[in-house]
Amino acid sequence: MNTQHNLSSRIPTRSPDTPPTLGIRNSTEGYGLIAIALHWIVALIVVGLFGLGVWMTGLTYYDDWYRRAPDLHKGIGTLLFLIMILRVVWRATNVAPDDESGISPLQLQAAHLVHLLLYLLLFVLMSSGYLISTADGRSIDVFGLFSLPAIVTDIPNQEDIAGAVHWYLALSLIGLAVLHALAALKHHFINRDRTLKKMLGIPPQPTDQP
Ligand code: HEM
């Protein structure tokens, strides 16, 4: 009896045509489930918070949402901060997927700079939001789960300065995110590479461009 043949026939092997499944962690071939989930959750929250922020500044004292909208904005903003900490830790402890071939070094550098700026803008934006909300010494209540104490309260005109910084950074972040999304769509529809597919968790197909 050929034992070697019997043993190897019992080991399940993946046919070269079977696409690899999506892992929890990143690989050099693409982003993993956690990085993908974090990316799209953050994207959704950023757009939602921007819309909510613009809408709530137009509310008057007599509107039902006059107090509830800012509470929601602050609560979600604080949760976003925690999610972003998790994202940075996950990013630092995972490999970055390989860049697509055929993209010029300058374009790659620009893309990486935009990613870095998106992270930085988000953190400064959230910090300025914290400084507006806590300028009067009141802590931020996060949906009754916990509260964030007011630590810095003595900057002159803190609320106004932090408010202006918050508004202009929010505009810059949305502008940069639109640019970033357009670049992703260009890669998908014009270059026809896997840049967007990697962030959507679509595994490589035999029909993909090399
Ligand atoms: C408002 C929201 C968004 C923010 C803050 C954001 C932020 C980021 C960041 C920081 C990265 C780098 C990830 C890393 O290196 O770990 C990234 C990657 C990526 N994002 Fe976004 N993003 C947003 C919206 C979008 C949208 C709307 C699209 C698609 C239309 C998109 C498509 C992508 C793709 C394809 C990558 C991977 C790029 C690559 O591998 O070179 N993003 N995003």
Query: What is each CA distance from 203 to 85, 130, 154, 200, in whole angstroms?
Result: 27, 40, 52, 9
> What separation in Å is there between the alpha carbon of 79 and the centre of ligand 1?
19
pLDDT at 7: 43
145: CB partners within 8 A, 6+ apart: none
In testing the pocket of ligand 1, which one of 42, 115, 126 has its CB within 8 Å of the most ligand atoms?
115
Question: What's the pLDDT at 12?
Answer: 46
Q: Residues 187, 189, 192, CA angle at the centre, nearest 5°?
A: 60
Residue pair 31/199 in contact (Cβ under 8 Å)? The answer is yes
pLDDT at 3: 43
CB-based pocket (< 6 A), ligand 1: 39, 42-43, 46-47, 91, 111, 115, 118-119, 177, 180-181, 184-185, 195-196, 198-199
Query: What is the set of domains in the chain, with CATH numbers?
Result: 30-200 (1.20.950)
Helix (H, G, I), strand (E, B) or coil at 142: strand
Angle between helix 65-92 and helix 105-133 axes, rounded to 10 deg: 140
Q: Whose CA is nearest to atom 25 of ligand 1?
A: 181
174 contacts 122 by C-beta, under 8 angstroms? no
What are the phi and psi torsion angles at 142 (to 5°)?
-100, 90
Cα(205) to centroid(ligand 1), Å: 22
Best substitution site from 90, 199, 202 to test ligand 1's pocket, by max atoms within 8 Å of Cβ? 199
pLDDT at 22: 85
Encode 120-142: b = buried (16+ Cβ within 10 Å), e = exposed.
Answer: ebbeebbebbbbbbbbeeeebeb
Cβ atoms of residues 179 and 158 within 8 Å: no
Atom of ligand 1 nearest to the CA of 116: 10
Q: pLDDT of the chain along its 210 residues, tens only? A: 444 444 444 444 445 555 567 899 999 999 999 999 999 999 999 999 999 999 999 999 999 999 999 999 999 999 999 999 999 999 999 999 999 998 999 999 999 999 999 999 999 999 999 999 999 999 999 999 999 999 999 999 999 999 999 999 999 999 999 999 999 999 999 999 999 999 999 988 877 765
Instruction: Please give the distance, rounded to the nearest whole angstrom, from the Cα atom of residue 173 to the centre of ligand 1.
Output: 12
pLDDT at 11: 47
